[in-house]
Amino acid sequence: MAQKGFTLWFTGLSGSGKTALAEMVYDELKQKRGLKVEKLDGDVVRTNLSKGLGFSREDRDINIRRIGFVCNLLTRNDVIAIASAISPYRSVRDENRALIGSDKFVEVYCEVPIEVAVERDVKGLYKKALSGEIKNFTGISDPYEAPLNPEVHINSGSEAIEESFAKIITYLEERGLIKPLGESGYSEEEEEAISAHLEALGYL
Ligand SMILES: Nc1ncnc2c1ncn2[C@@H]1O[C@H](COP(=O)(O)OP(=O)(O)OP(=O)(O)O)[C@@H](O)[C@H]1O
Ligand SMILES: [Mg+2]
């Protein structure tokens, strides 16, 4: 079975675990399963593709549309695209879903209680947002519109990260977007390569 392209779209407040989970899924699909995967993280995109954009609604929408545009190019060429940006507005997330196709778009809502995100304050930004040093901060002084029907719903305040990761992988396998690993723990391709090798050595 050839690899199918799809977009895995993480959305959620800052500190909800988008990047942490995106990295884990990326490593699993690329390293362990040998799939073609690309990631587009909000922080990285804002230093190149969207450099110069700010945090007004208009700029946020442009940023998310750009990420969606690239995800679509990758997806239609059967690469798995993993996007991890706050993407606070439902309408532009849905625009990307329509562009890419609902059958190839998997929205992962990383939900976290705002108190937990503030407590984590991974980047020290909540402190600045609460003191007013940073304006238009999602969840504090800017809106976040939660998905109404996400394909995967993570509760990063109460789940262990391994549990959240497993939810995503299981969903992708059950939906037929990636192949489950065989009982050996090797992918089909790896099993074939091992068999060919053993055969060449005269063991099979
Ligand atoms: N179940 C979980 N899922 C994801 N992350 C978790 C979970 N439990 C704890 N965490 C921790 O929460 C933190 C989330 O930080 P992370 O940088 O991934 O957030 P983010 O959503 O990418 O934020 P930002 O929008 O600012 O980039 C990490 O330190 C991660 O280890
Ligand atoms: Mg992040």
Summarised one tens digit per residue, pLDDT across range 39-69 is 999 999 999 999 999 999 999 999 999 999 9
Whole-number pLDDT of residue 1: 60
How confident is the model over 114-126, as pLDDT tens digits?
999 999 999 999 9
Tokens, residue 175: 């939906």
The mean per-residue pLDDT over the stretch 77-88 comes to 98
Q: Where are the alpha helices (DSSP H) in the chain?
A: 18-27, 42-45, 57-76, 90-100, 114-120, 125-131, 161-174, 188-200
From the number of C-beta atoms within 10 Å of its C-beta (0-12, 13-18, 19+), residue 77 rates as: exposed
- Give catalytic residue positions: 87
Q: Ligand 1 pocket: which residues have CB below 6 Å?
A: 12, 14-21, 42-43, 84, 86, 110, 120, 122-123, 154, 156, 159-161, 164
Protein residue whose Cα sits closest to atom 16 of ligand 1 = 17
Tokens at residue 152, please? 């995967």
Output the CA 202–ligand 1 centroid distance in Å. Answer: 49
Q: Which ligand is nearest to the CA of 119?
A: 1
> Which residue from 10, 13, 19 has its CB within 8 A of the most atoms of ligand 1, so it is best to mutate?
19
Query: What is this structure's pTM?
Result: 0.92
Task: List phi, psi (to 5°) of 88.
Answer: -75, -20
- Residue 152 clears pLDDT 90, i.e. is over it: yes
* Residue among 25, 18, 33 nearest 185 (CA): 33
Residues lying with their CB under 5 A of ligand 2, a single-atom ion: 18-19
CA 165 from centre of chain: 11
Ordered structural domains, the chain, with CATH: 6-200 (3.40.50.300)
What's the alpha-carbon Rg for the chain, to the nearest Å?
Answer: 19
- d(CA 78, CA 100) in angstroms, rounded, equals 12
